[in-house]
Structure 1
Amino acid sequence: MGGKQQRKSSGGAWAKGKGHSGEGSHAIGKSELYLVDVLRAYPAEDGSIFVKRASASRDLDLVASEGMAGRLSSSNAESHRRPGKWLSMVAASVAEAARTAQYAVENLDATGLDFFASEATDEVLEACAVLDTTRKQESSQQQRAAAMQTLLSFAADERAEGSLTRLALMSAKLYVGAMQTLQARRVFSCRR
C-alpha cells in the first residue's frame, strides 16, 4: 500500500493534518483564515493595512479583542472548527515569533529594517507619492517617469534583496505570531 495510511476512529476517518472528516471538521483554506483574509496586499489611501469588513472603519477594529469577537467564526478560524489543531498552530506561531523577536532585538542590523531606514530617502518617498494612485495626487507623465526611475533604482540596490528577504521572513513570523496570540486572547477570554 503506497503513501500514508489513514487512521480510523469509531467516529470516521482521520488523515494527518486534516482532523476528523465529519461535517465542519475539515481544515479551513489558508486564504480564508482570518489572519490572512484581513491583510491587504498594499496600504489603503489612509495607510491602513487591513481590509475593512463587517463595519470595521480602522485597522484596530480588526485586531482588538472586541473587534475580533464578532469576526471569528467556523468559516475563518480553526479555533472554532479544530481547536486541537489550532492550539498547535498558536503554539508554533508564538514560539517562532518569540525566537524571531529575540533575534531581531539582538541583531537589529541583520533584520533588513536598516535598508528601509537608510535607503528609503526623501527622494524615494517623494517618488512613491507620485506613483501611489491611492493618494490621488496629480502628476505629469514626465514626473511619473522620473519617479519610476527613482523607485526602480531603489529596488535594484545591491543590498535590497538580502535585506528585504530577511525583513519579509522576520515580519511574516512576527505578524502570524501576533495575530495567533490575539486570537488566542479572544478565544480564551470567552471561555473564562
Structure 2
Amino acid sequence: MARGRKRKAGRRHPSGKLVQPSAAETQREAMATVLEARQRHYGVTARQARDERLGTALGRLAFGEVITSEQYAAGQKYAEIHHRHHAVLGWPMPFPASVTGILASDGVLGGSGAPPSRELVEKMRRHYGAVLDVLDQCDRDRLDAPGKAPSVLAYRLVCLDEDAGGWPQADLTNLALVLDALADLFGIARDAHRKVLT
C-alpha cells in the first residue's frame, strides 16, 4: 500500500514541481466559476450571466425589470454618496465588503492616510444631508402606506445588498418611490424642472 499524500493532478515541470497557473489563467477560472454560479442560481443563459448587474441585489432588480434603468442609476449614486460620506468622515462601512472593495479600487478608500480637507468634508455632508432629506420626505409621504419605510428598504437593498427577490409588492412600491425621488435629486430623470445635486 502506498504511503504519503495523494499526488496532486496538473502539469509539472521536469523536476516534478507543479506548474503554477498565471494570473490571467487564475482570473479566467474565477470568472468561469462566477458565471457558472450565476447561471445555476439565477436561471440565466451563459451570455446573460456576464451582465454585471447580476452582481448586486439592486442590479438584479434592474436585470429583472422590476426597477427602471433610471431607478438603478439612482440607487448606484445613493450607494456612492453613502459610502464616500462614511469614508471621508471615518465612519464604519456597512457590509458587504465587496462594495467597499470597489470603492477602494477606485481610490476612494485607503490612500495616503492624510485627513480630508475641510471643503471635502463639507461637500460630503451637504450631499449626504440632501440624500437624508429625500429619504425622510419619502418616509413621511408613505407613513400610513403598507410596507416598510422607503428609507429602510433603500438602505437594505443598496448599502447592505439584501436580496429583494422575496419582498412583497408593498415594499417594492415603496422602494420604487424612494428611487424615483433620488433620481429627481440626482438629476437622472429627463424632466428639466427637477433639482440636481451638484
TM-score (norm 2): 0.25
TM-score by structure 1 length? 0.26
- Structure with greater proportional strand content: 1
